[in-house]
Amino acid sequence: MKHLVILFTLISSLGFGQEKLDKLLDKWNTRNVPYISVETLALPKTNAILLDAREKKEYEVSHLEDAIYVGYHKFKLEETIKKLPKDKNAKIVVYCSLGIRSETVAHKLIKAGYTNVFNLYGGIFKWKNSAFQVVDTLGKPTEKVHSFNKDWGRWLEKGQKVF
């Protein structure tokens, strides 16, 4: 059943919304960090360390399960490295709302010598739009997602928007 959900999600993501998201990310990103899709990240054997590159108030509303908050404006590479394994080949996925802020943070990790770093394509918005679960600060599933502001929030199609 899970495979059918993933297949349906893949097929439905190939439409017009995908093209618009591609254009948005092309406008803001330099693609100096490889993307990973939400569908690939959701696979059981992905085993990635998840880093949330949004602001603290966004993370506190909801985040991907087991994600580590690292922030964006107050991101500190030295502090983040302390939270990571010594193995610089460990798989790391950085995400934000859509994948713009996370590219900057992920690129800093690559420049610090990490070799298996990815940017989550479409961020937490695409994750939630694809019907994957987010959790609150207590680790409980929630429908709430901080949508940054009304302009960026239009990209969040599922769940309850929090500003």
- Mind listing the pLDDT tens digit for each residue in 79-120? 999 999 999 999 999 999 999 999 999 999 999 999 999 999
CATH number at residue 102: 3.40.250.10
Is the pLDDT at 11 greater than 90? The verdict is no
Q: How far apart are the C-alpha atoms of 40 and 46, rounded to whole Å?
A: 7
Domain range for 157 is: 2-162
DSSP class of residue 159 equals: S
Q: How far apart are the C-alpha atoms of 129 and 117, rounded to whole Å?
A: 23
Q: Dihedral of the CA atoms 93, 148, 79, 60 (nearest 10)?
A: -90
52 classed as catalytic: no
The number of beta carbons lying within 10 Å of the beta carbon of residue 15 is: 9
Per annotation, catalytic residue among 96, 98, 124, 162: 96
Q: How far apart are the C-alpha atoms of 59 and 13, rounded to whole Å?
A: 25
Count up the domains in the chain and report the number: 1
For 44-61, what is each residue's pLDDT tens digit?
888 999 999 999 999 999
Strands 141-142 and 134-135: antiparallel
Asked if 91 and 47 touch (Cβ cutoff 8 Å), the reply is: yes
Confidence of residue 17 (pLDDT cuts 50, 70, 90): low
